[in-house]
Amino acid sequence: MIIKQCRLCKSDSLKKVIDLGDHPPADTFIPQKYKDIDLPRYPLSLTKCSACGHVFTSFYVSPEERYQRYEYSYDSSNSIVSENHFKDFAEDVLDTKDFSPDSLFVDIGSNVGTLLTKFKDKGLNNVLGIEPSENISKLANSNGIRTLNYFFDKTLQNNLDFNNKADCILSANVFNHTDDLGEVFELVLDLLSDEGILVFEVPYLLDLIKQRAFDTIYHEHVHYFSVKALKEILNSYDFEIVKLKNIDYMCGSLRVFCQKKSSSIYEALEVETFIENENSFSLFDDETYLSFMKDIKNMKIKLNSDIDSILKKGGKIIGVGAATKGNTLLNFCDLDHNKISYLTDTSKLKVGKYSPGSLIPIKHDDEIDNSVTHLLILPWNLSDYLVNKLSFMKKKFLIPQMENLK
Ligand SMILES: [Zn+2]
């Protein structure tokens, strides 16, 4: 279903600005027994709203299709990079506001509880995760993080006491996945104490466009936030941005601190600076997206020509890190098991499965064999870490990043 109204401001003045072709949901890693069943593919394209500047997926794919076809495979604790990131996130929150030992911290889309663990490590034990995936929330509870297995939607009001107000509501890389943000902000307003703080992280549209990070586009990522659009939606739900940061995580993200307008906090000065930067980069102009499309088509041609020449010389290429974004890259560049022998990962939730669309088998990092000549680093944002970790193997690296593919 094509979306006909802006997901934030409801305007119908929309324009398709990015088109990556038809893709299956990128986060659906396929168990062996379902390997021969074709996954449905949906148009993967982005629309820009002329009224508020918001960018979002043009085609609606239901949450069931995005997350629940098979067991969900994303585990937020699966790398030292994400562990360090969540530690920094927690410290930043605790530097911003004073809390008491019994303050309640609620994490929306808490995954296995990695972020909440960092608060417990600081002696703040009153933590609660809300996680829609059954297998992931079980893992969280077994890790000692109290977690309710629900979507953060109105049904939660039947299962959680909203009179017990939260002092801090957290969310990392979740609001960009959320179809109905209005419903979420209404619930946050209800659950958060008047002096409480909402802190969330979402990937930043400006970083995506600047870096040509087209592989961070997938159906699970419904929204692509600019500060201009975020400010508008937050203000309309009675929130003000009290602190704002641009961080490196997920190829460039925003960390947004908000409080209720009623608690007399003034909007942070940096908000206008971010919006000025977006305007001076022409983030809301159609021409910016035309040149983005031209560049990524050239990247596809260059990557394929590099890979074909390696294979012609008898090389063997594997992909390292079965990251979700790798699936957009593989499918957009028409790379499958005929060119990439296998992928490797350390997550138990991915090893033994197949990548969606490209159907490349996933092995454990320890199983890289001697005949491999080249490692294609799929999570290129972690390339420093991965190259360092794997350099002892004396293989050549392919890093699919704009500066390497011009
Ligand atoms: Zn709009």
Please tell me what DSSP assigns to residue 303. Answer: H
pLDDT confidence of residue 66: 77
User: pLDDT digits over 61-120, tens only?
Assistant: 888 777 767 766 666 666 788 899 999 999 999 999 999 999 999 999 999 999 999 999
**Cβ atoms of residues 15 and 45 within 8 Å:** no
51 Cα to the center of ligand 1, angstroms = 5
Q: Do domains 80-264 and 287-404 have the same CATH topology?
A: yes
**CA 3 – ligand 1 centroid, Å:** 12
Residues 119/231, Cβ–Cβ less than 8 Å: no
- Domain positions in the chain are 80-264, 287-404
Q: What is the CATH number of domain 287-404?
A: 3.40.50.720
Q: Tell me what percent of the residues of the chain surpass a pLDDT of 70.
A: 97
Question: Could you tell me which CATH number the domain at 80-264 has?
Answer: 3.40.50.150
Which pTM value belongs to this model? Answer: 0.93
The β-bridge partners of 49 are 14
Q: How far is CA 104 from CA 121, 158, 164, 250, 259, in A?
A: 15, 19, 9, 27, 16
Distance 276 CA to ligand 1 centre (A): 18
Q: How far is the CA of 54 from the centre of ligand 1 (A)?
A: 5
pLDDT at 28: 85
User: Could you read off the pLDDT of 310-330 as tens digits, one per residue?
Assistant: 999 999 999 999 999 999 999
pLDDT digits (tens, 9 = 90+) for 230-274: 999 999 999 999 999 999 998 899 999 999 988 767 889 999 999
Q: How far is the CA of 247 from the centre of ligand 1 (A)?
A: 25
